Structure 1
Amino acid sequence: MDQAGLSDPSVHQLRLFLVLAEELHFGRAARRVYISQPAFSRQIRRLEEHLGAVLVERSTRRVQLTAAGEALLPPMRSLVEAADELQRGVLTQVRAVTGQVVLGCYITALPVITELVALVRRRHPRLDVELREVDFVEQAGALLDGRVDAVLCYEPVPPGVQTLRLGIEPRAVCIRDDHPLAARTSVTLAELADLPVVGLAPGVHREWRDFWAADPRPDGAPVTYTSHGATTFESSISAVSQGHGIRLVSSACRELFPRPGIRYVDVADAPTCTAVLAWAAARRDTPGVAALRRAADGMAEGAAGDPDPRWCTRRPGE
């Protein structure tokens, strides 16, 4: 192959291959690094494309390294060790970060929050990370007025807020479990046209509200809202369970927030949603926000380009 056509693999891909070389099993290797097996396999395929060589022989019964895979193991280990040494040098410099950083989320129990905070605390033991719940109204305002330093939320965000994308997910509709559509595996926005969306508080950022209601619908029709002024996720799905309306949500809610009286049904034609770490542009380079950005960037690396929602639903051991 023409060497000019090759591109550099990422350190992350090299790490995954080293794990696979130890396990010789895609499922076990994927579980070790807490990502789904399809996402793990895609990264190995991309590594092979980057290098222009087949590294693994795959069959239904076994995984075996090719001659090229065996030959490349030593230089791959050397590169990963060099990257680790560089990271240790960086951490020696950044561990001096002190003070407090306040991270907001409207559901602070999300596994990704636990993972992000643990990573920051390991890297910066002298930095105090405070978690603060913010509702739909507060999540943008709290950033811009300085009550929190960063927020984990979903796009869209208002002007003056910068983001780092963490993951992409399909969307689902939260609907009362006795509604005829609740028995379906998927629906379309047209099939939801006659169902009102649970209303959010007036202070919710308008672009965010419209996105999460798919307002207007693809045919240009405006959405009908209930009279609720929900400010939290729980209050909005409580209204759904009482039969007062529907809510469009991320598909991860099916695993994270099962509740009696409701069902989550995929919406086939709704645009995907993007989870982000967000911060006010004016605070981008403050020590606490910079620490959060670096940690989140490392978490996002493995999910880059993969529309796989497990970044926010995975738990140790899965």
Structure 2
Amino acid sequence: METRELRYFLAVAEELHFGRAAQRLMMAQPPLSRAIQQLERRLGVVLLQRSARSVTLTAAGEVLLQEARIALEAVEAAEFRTRRAGAPRRALVLAAKAGASSALLSKILDAHACAPNAVEVEVTLVGPGQPESLLRSGRADVALLQRPYDDTTGLSTADLHTEQQVLVLPVDHPLADRAPLSLADVETVEDPPLPCWPRPDGTFPDGPGPRVRDHTQLLQLVSLGMARAVMPESLRPRFDDARVWIPLTDAPAVTTVIAWPAQTRSPLVEDFVRTAVQA
């Protein structure tokens, strides 16, 4: 299969409409239809069920949809990493969540700056879920991720720090003077609601809570009595006393890891990871 064919199929599979897919690809519809038919003949399977009114994926089409996304993501990542490897300026791109792991990040960067043959580090601070996406797409060389919130499947990782989670409430909340609490206690609280975080593609799930993109925004909403939050305990020193931080007895621990592509052989990445673990 050619990457061109995979891009064609992905557009049709996501739009479920040949006309919209052709517009998305900026091409005419007839050659797009012929390309999909040729792909089906080569694979020996039907990928799409077509009718006068609808287009639906077959079981084989569902599989190719997932595999095509992975394959095209890998090709795009290879392009980014190759271009950066050949760039005249040596630099390493680190992705991290804005507002998370700040003290740890500063410690790592200070240690790297003192290391022999240290290179420039470009720090990209983004929203939840995005460091992983930048790393997998090749736009970042390494990333600080947090298990269990981030998916590290297929990545190489090294543990840096493990901490407990706490419930954050407005100071005047009825549960503010109860400690510790359990996750079951958190679920019984209806007001204020838990926030809605964006998915990796930037869209938000349905839910009653306010839409937030970073921890600073979330904690402001907690202070206003418009949200409650469950977050790592290390964020507490960065904010004022307008909130109550309550330990959770059964919340899973959060482990901050440094992650990098499993197949990488970059000496820059190896040196940076080694320094981060030592720090």
1:121 aligns to 2:129 (yes or no): no
Provide Cα deviations, 1:79-129, integer angstroms capped at 9, x if missing partner: xxxxxxxxxxxxxxxxxxx81111122237712212211211221445111
Note the C-alpha offset of 1:147: 1.9
Partner residue of 1:297? Answer: 277
Distance 2:118 2:104 in 1: 21
1:226 aligns to 2:208 (yes or no): yes
Partner residue of 1:102? Answer: 93
Q: 1:124 to 1:132 in 2, by over 3 A?
A: farther
Work out which of the residue numbers 232, 250, 262 in structure 1 matches 2:232.
250
| Alignment of structure 1 residues 229-240 onto 2, 5 Å | 229-240=211-222
**Contact 1:189/1:269, CA 8 A, preserved across alignment:** yes
Work out which of the residue numbers 267, 278, 288 in structure 1 matches 2:248.
267
**Letter of the aligned partner of 1:144 in structure 2?**
R
Q: 1:204 to 1:248 in 2, by over 3 A?
A: farther
**Letter of the aligned partner of 1:242 in structure 2?**
L
Q: Aligned with 1:252: secondary structure? A: helix
Provide Cα deviations, 1:157-184, integer angstroms capped at 9, x if missing partner: 3233221111211110111111022223
**Contact 1:241/1:261, CA 8 A, preserved across alignment:** yes
Partner residue of 2:18? Answer: none
**Contact 2:210/2:227, CA 8 A, preserved across alignment:** no
Note the C-alpha offset of 1:260: 4.8
1:197 aligns to 2:199 (yes or no): no
Distance 1:180 1:187 in 2: 13
Q: 1:235 to 1:280 in 2, by over 3 A?
A: farther
Distance 2:227 2:125 in 1: 25
Work out which of the residue numbers 117, 135, 142 in structure 2 matches 1:143.
135
Q: 1:148 to 1:270 in 2, by over 3 A?
A: same
Unaligned runs of 5+ in 1: 1-97, 210-223, 300-318
Note the C-alpha offset of 1:298: 1.4
Provide Cα deviations, 1:247-286, integer angstroms capped at 9, x if missing partner: 111112222x223532211001112111111223233x31
**Contact 1:108/1:131, CA 8 A, preserved across alignment:** no
Q: Aligned with 1:111: secondary structure? A: helix
Distance 1:151 1:276 in 2: 8
**Contact 2:133/2:200, CA 8 A, preserved across alignment:** no
Distance 2:155 2:187 in 1: 32
Note the C-alpha offset of 1:204: 7.1
Q: 1:297 to 1:114 in 2, by over 3 A?
A: same
**Contact 1:171/1:270, CA 8 A, preserved across alignment:** yes
Distance 2:207 2:271 in 1: 40
**Contact 2:183/2:250, CA 8 A, preserved across alignment:** yes
Q: 1:225 to 1:269 in 2, by over 3 A?
A: farther
Residue-pair matches, total: 185
Partner residue of 1:42? Answer: none
RMSD: 2.8
Note the C-alpha offset of 1:245: 2.4
**Contact 2:160/2:258, CA 8 A, preserved across alignment:** yes
> TM-score normalized by structure 1?
0.52
**Contact 2:170/2:243, CA 8 A, preserved across alignment:** yes
| Alignment of structure 1 residues 66-77 onto 2, 5 Å | none
Q: 1:262 to 1:116 in 2, by over 3 A?
A: same
Distance 1:168 1:180 in 2: 30
**Contact 1:185/1:265, CA 8 A, preserved across alignment:** yes
> TM-score normalized by structure 2?
0.59
Distance 2:263 2:273 in 1: 14
Distance 1:289 1:229 in 2: 35
Distance 2:208 2:230 in 1: 14
